[in-house]
């Protein structure tokens, strides 16, 4: 599904990603870990098409298609979802109405008609029940006064509604409490399927107590320096990142 080949990217004169290779297949959950400043958020931004970063070498392929010339919205329409892409507060626009608009814009971009209202309601009901999101939450103004946990709930709801092929959850925030981590983890566990792939980026092993990844990769200084199964996450929790730094 996702194939990253010798990806180099940076900002102005600074090289940040220095030759990333990564293969992610449908049905897989990958965790990307690594010390702060390694390039984890840059990698997610580059996959999503953030234009602040320049790709200087290599490729990002989705189902064999090179994404290089596609804008972030076009990548989203092809099924790439990045958490926290829409962190804006929109007073007067509810969580649900924002989602309806996002879904219909995506359909329009693909030349499809708007989703019929009854179908939309059914989808909202189905996904909110799956994720145990109550009606009161769905009618709140988008991101307005949301706690950390509510922001996560909204993100996971967006992911559920958009049914992306490839979801990238960048857990940048060190301030996430256990409830917020559980919301993310439950969402990932309920939404993963044979048809999608999920990349969870995290600094902390703790999140991986709730999400069991199929593969764990360690990013350090712009390169994937180690890959393994879930046991690698436990090794990192036990030993920290110093041994990784010493080896590289």
Per CB under 6 A, the list member of 30, 31, 38, 83 interacting with ligand ADP is 38
Least Å distance, CB 203 to Mg ion, is 7
Question: DSSP strand E in 12-161: where?
Answer: 14-24, 29-33, 54-62, 65-66, 80-82, 90-94, 141-142
Per CB under 6 A, does 118 bind ligand ADP? Answer: no
Per CB under 6 A, does 202 bind ligand ADP? Answer: no
Nearest CB to ligand ADP, comparing residues 27 and 72:
72
Nearest CB to ligand ADP, comparing residues 9 and 162:
9
Least Å distance, CB 210 to ligand ADP, is 21
In degrees, to the nearest 5, what angle opens at C-alpha 12 toward C-alphas 7 and 17? 25
Altogether, the residues listed in the chain come to a count of: 248
Question: Minimal CB distance to Mg ion: which residue?
Answer: 41
Nearest CB to ligand ADP, comparing residues 38 and 143:
38
Distance, in Å, from the CA atom of 209 to the CA atom of 100, rounded to the nearest integer, reads: 33
Distance, in Å, from the CA atom of 151 to the CA atom of 84, rounded to the nearest integer, reads: 9
Asked if residues 170 and 152 have their Cβ atoms less than 8 Å apart, the reply is: no
Binding positions for ligand ADP, 39-68, rule CB under 6 A = 39-42, 52
Binding positions for Mg ion, 160-179, rule CB under 5 A = 172
The helix/strand/coil state of 162 is helix
Distance, in Å, from the CA atom of 248 to the CA atom of 235, rounded to the nearest integer, reads: 17
Asked if residues 212 and 43 have their Cβ atoms less than 8 Å apart, the reply is: no
Give phi and psi for 215, each to the nearest 5. -140, 145
Question: Could you tell which of Mg ion, ligand ADP, none binds residue 154, using a CB distance below 5 to 8 A set by kind?
Answer: none
Least Å distance, CB 17 to ligand ADP, is 8
Give phi and psi for 105, each to the nearest 5. -65, -40
Nearest CB to ligand ADP, comparing residues 5 and 203:
203
Per CB under 6 A, does 37 bind ligand ADP? Answer: yes
Binding positions for ligand ADP, 5-24, rule CB under 6 A = 11, 14, 16
Residues that bind ligand ADP (CB under 6 A): 11, 14, 16, 34, 36-42, 52
Residues that bind Mg ion (CB under 5 A): 36, 40-41, 172
């Amino acid at each position: 599904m996702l194939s990253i080949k010798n990806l180099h990217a940076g900002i102005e004169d600074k090289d940040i990603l220095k030759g990333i290779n990564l293969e992610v297949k449908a049905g897989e959950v990958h965790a990307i870990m690594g010390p702060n400043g390694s390039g984890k958020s840059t990698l997610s931004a580059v996959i999503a098409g953030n234009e602040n970063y320049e790709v200087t070498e290599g490729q990002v392929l989705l189902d064999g298609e090179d994404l290089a010339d596609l804008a972030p919205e076009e990548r989203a329409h092809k099924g790439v979802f990045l958490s926290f892409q829409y962190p804006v507060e929109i007073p007067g626009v509810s969580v649900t109405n924002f989602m309806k608009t996002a879904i219909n814009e995506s359909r329009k971009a693909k030349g499809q008609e708007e989703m019929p209202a009854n179908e939309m309601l059914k989808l909202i009901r189905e996904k909110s029940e799956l994720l145990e999101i109550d009606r009161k939450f769905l009618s709140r103004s988008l991101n307005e006064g949301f706690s950390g946990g509510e922001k996560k709930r909204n993100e996971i709801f967006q992911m559920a509604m958009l049914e992306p092929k490839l979801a990238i959850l960048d857990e940048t925030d060190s301030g996430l409490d256990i409830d917020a981590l559980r919301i993310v983890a439950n969402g990932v566990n309920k939404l993963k399927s044979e048809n999608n792939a999920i990349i969870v980026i995290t600094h902390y092993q703790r999140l991986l107590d709730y999400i069991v990844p199929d593969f764990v990769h360690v990013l350090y200084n712009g390169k994937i320096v180690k890959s393994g199964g879930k046991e690698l996450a436990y090794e990192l929790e036990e030993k920290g990142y110093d041994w990784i730094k010493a080896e590289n």
